[in-house]
Structure 1
Amino acid sequence: MSEGSAWKAPAGSWASSAARRRNMQAIRSRDTQPERLLRRLVHARGLRYRVAARPLPDLRRTADMVFRPVKVAVFIDGCYWHGCPEHYIPPKTNSGYWSEKVVSNVTRDRDTDRRLEEAGWLVLRFWEHEPAEECALAVCKAVTARRAEQGRASR
């Protein structure tokens, strides 16, 4: 781009301006504050996990925390991007695009849940606004219960 020339969105681009594009690129897809806090609490309770990993190798979707041996996948969903019933506020600008984006995210989330459950996985989803201590307790209980089930099944 030459000096002094205006930025122009490519045809079909999701970005309505250069500033919007920079803003959207800065949004984290992993290692958000709610994810880091939950991971720290779960790790402090002695559990180990994979971060931002694919539970199923052939499924191009990653969970925020994956406990592979016991097949538990944990997702921490952002209120805006995943359409939280309590906190989602429809956008004022380019609302058609963003509303469709959120609907497609929710649809993909449900599809991910279904595919994982069909493969024998337990899917745990939490909203970013839920208390991290409560989420960590739920994760620990689920992983511990799955480990106990595996122990009984192997006898």
Structure 2
Amino acid sequence: MVDRFTQQTRSRMMSAIRGKDTKPELIVRRILRELSVGYRLHRKDLPGRPDISMSGRRKIIEVRGCFWHRHPGCRFAYEPKSRQDFWQQKFASNVERDKRNDRALRDQGWQTLTVWECETAQVTSLQERIAEFIEVGGHSASGKGRNYPREADETPAG
């Protein structure tokens, strides 16, 4: 299928897509501030420059777009109709890079939580999930002690 936009228009549209300070990332950051949790953004000294890191807790939160990082089972992770070979390769490299970075962080002793873009719509449940992950107050916020998946492909679909 042929792209309905000119190459220049498509290029301009794609260049407008941000990698930092996205709406889902700002939602997660607001939740952390409400929980009075300190964090740093996009640390260059860590593999993949994770979105949010909490050094004292050795915890990382990655906020991933469902489309770009292929959230399994998500309606937003649809396949584009044009240039399918390009997109399949692009998506595969994104997913592989995510796995590689998650593995490297784990090897350095960090725990990671992946927050998918679609999950930011349910702020209350997301806040509970984040509080439980970071163990606000030195214990699990829910008391359940849930083990969080460490790899992006193990995260339940939202």
TM range (shorter): 0.7 to 0.9
Q: 1:139 aligns with which of 130, 138, 148?
A: 130
For 2:64, give the aligned amino acid.
Answer: D
For 2:29, give the aligned amino acid.
Answer: R
- Contiguous gaps of at least 5 residues in structure 1: 1-15, 149-155
Match for residue 41 of structure 1? 31
SS of structure 1 residue aligned to 2:63: strand
For 2:18, give the aligned amino acid.
Answer: R
CA offset digits 1:106-137 (Å, max 9, x no partner):
11111111111111100100110012332332
Residues of 2 paired with 1:29 and 1:49: CA distance? 18
Match for residue 82 of structure 1? 69
Residues of 1 paired with 2:102 and 2:46: CA distance? 15
Residues of 2 paired with 1:27 and 1:97: CA distance? 18
Residues of 2 paired with 1:109 and 1:145: CA distance? 26
Query: Normalised by the size of structure 1, how large is the TM-score?
Result: 0.76
Matches within 5 A, 1:3-152: 17-54=7-44, 57=45, 59=47, 61-85=48-72, 86-87=74-75, 88-130=77-119, 131-144=122-135
Residues of 2 paired with 1:58 and 1:30: CA distance? 16
CA offset digits 1:72-128 (Å, max 9, x no partner):
110111111001122211111111111211111011111111111111100100110
Distance 1:65 1:133, change over 3 A: farther
CA offset digits 1:36-88 (Å, max 9, x no partner):
1111111111111012224xx263x1111110121111011111100112221
- Contiguous gaps of at least 5 residues in structure 2: 1-5, 140-158
Residues of 1 paired with 2:51 and 2:46: CA distance? 17
Give the aligned length.
130
Identity among equivalent pairs (%): 29
8 Å contact kept, 2:46–2:105:
no
Residues of 2 paired with 1:27 and 1:48: CA distance? 27
CA RMSD of superposed structures (Å): 1.9
Larger Rg: 1
